């Protein structure tokens, strides 16, 4: 792959509205360098963390994983990254969580396979893949390059950017356990109620000029009334520059959780005033 081709893909990623958090362990670090070396990286990369040691991974996952290099671990990393991206992103921006864990060539021979596991999560899609590299075919640098290109391709796909470039896998490499799941609004809300995702954003305003700072008015909004609107207007006036947001709590300490139909019904109130 030529440098010009790589740059064109990365430029397209940076031109997309998607903002991402990346958690990478055991490889694919070249992908991060490629993303950061092209102007516009701040449009895409919200945060990148390399939990390389076992203790770092344990602290990230808040548990000891059954296997440090596994598809389950990559999936959990991607979900954590997605939730982190939700908190760091501009209001209404599509976000992406990326999880990667690999076991590549090192200074000593490995008994197991040379492999990596990759997972990406957006609001409506989870994609995962495991790649087993042909053992002894490549050096560590070459395996790092292949895994990085494969990761860059996955990020491009998640950003809905053309990614027809070659990841340099060969016929002897095995791409297995590739899966893709899509989520509708009801499934997202179910994940919210179950605690899998921290919140769901309904961006009724396209104005993101004050997106770096949020002014939040929480409530049950049952129903939404003029007092709520005036409270947020007053808060925005007092606080100055900021993006006004209403926060509807799906789960309350002293009340039963809202059902999915209840959440959707209350959200519709804001759509009418947008």
pLDDT of residue 262: 97
Q: Has domain 3-182 been given CATH number 3.90.950.20?
A: yes
Per-residue pLDDT tens over the stretch 16-56: 999 999 999 999 999 999 999 999 999 999 999 999 999 99
Contacts of 1 (CB under 8 A, 6+ apart): 149, 165, 166, 168
Contact by Cβ (8 Å): 165, 146? no
How many other C-beta atoms can be found within 10 angstroms of the C-beta atom of residue 25? 27
Per-residue pLDDT tens over the stretch 248-260: 999 988 889 999 9
DSSP one-letter code for 201: -
Q: Could you give phi then psi for residue 68, rounded to 5 degrees?
A: -75, -35
Structural domain boundaries in the chain: 3-182, 185-273
Counting residues of the chain whose pLDDT is more than 70, the rounded percentage is 97
Per-residue pLDDT tens over the stretch 179-232: 999 999 999 999 999 999 999 999 887 666 666 788 999 999 999 999 999 999
pLDDT of residue 209: 64
**CA end-to-end span of the chain, whole Å?**
47
> How many angstroms separate the Cα of 273 from the Cα of each of 63, 204, 225?
44, 9, 11
- If you count them, how many residues does the chain have? 274
Residue 127 pairs in a beta bridge with: 120, 180
Contacts of 38 (CB under 8 A, 6+ apart): 7, 10, 11, 14
pLDDT of residue 221: 95
274 or 139, higher pLDDT = 139
Per-residue pLDDT tens over the stretch 155-175: 999 999 998 778 899 999 999
pLDDT > 70? residue 1: no
Check residue 103 and give left, alpha or beta (phi > 0: left; psi -120 to 50: alpha).
beta
Sequence-ordered strand ranges (E) for 122-242: 125-133, 174-182, 214-219
pLDDT band for position 100 (cuts 50, 70, 90): very high
Mean pLDDT of the chain: 93
Q: Give the integer Cα–Cα distance in Å for 236 and 240.
A: 6
């Amino acid at each position: 792959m030529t440098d010009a081709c790589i740059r064109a893909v990365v430029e397209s990623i940076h031109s997309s509205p998607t903002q991402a958090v990346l958690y990478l362990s055991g490889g694919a670090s070249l992908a991060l360098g490629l993303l950061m070396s092209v102007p516009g990286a701040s449009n895409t990369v919200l945060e990148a963390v390399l939990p390389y040691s076992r203790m770092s991974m344990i602290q990230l996952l808040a548990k000891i994983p059954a296997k440090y290099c596994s598809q389950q671990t990559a999936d959990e990393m991607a979900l954590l990254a997605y939730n982190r991206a939700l908190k760091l992103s501009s209001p209404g921006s599509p976000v992406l969580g990326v999880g990667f864990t690999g076991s590549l060539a090192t200074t000593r021979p490995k008994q197991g396979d040379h492999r990596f596991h990759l997972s990406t999560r957006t609001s409506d899609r989870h994609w995962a893949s495991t790649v087993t590299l042909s053992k002894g075919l490549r050096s560590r640098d070459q395996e790092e390059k292949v895994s990085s290109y494969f990761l860059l391709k996955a990020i491009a796909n998640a950003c809905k950017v053309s990614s027809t470039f070659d990841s340099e896998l060969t016929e002897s490499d095995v791409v297995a356990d590739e899966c893709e799941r899509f989520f509708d609004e009801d499934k997202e809300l179910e994940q919210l109620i179950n605690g899998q995702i921290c919140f769901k954003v309904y961006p009724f305003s396209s104005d993101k000029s004050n997106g770096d700072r949020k002014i939040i008015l929480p409530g049950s909004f049952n129903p939404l009334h003029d007092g709520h609107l005036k409270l947020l207007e007053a808060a925005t006036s007092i606080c100055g520059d900021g993006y006004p947001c209403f926060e509807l709590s799906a789960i309350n300490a002293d009340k039963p959780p809202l059902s999915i139909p209840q959440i959707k019904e209350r959200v519709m109130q804001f759509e009418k005033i947008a």
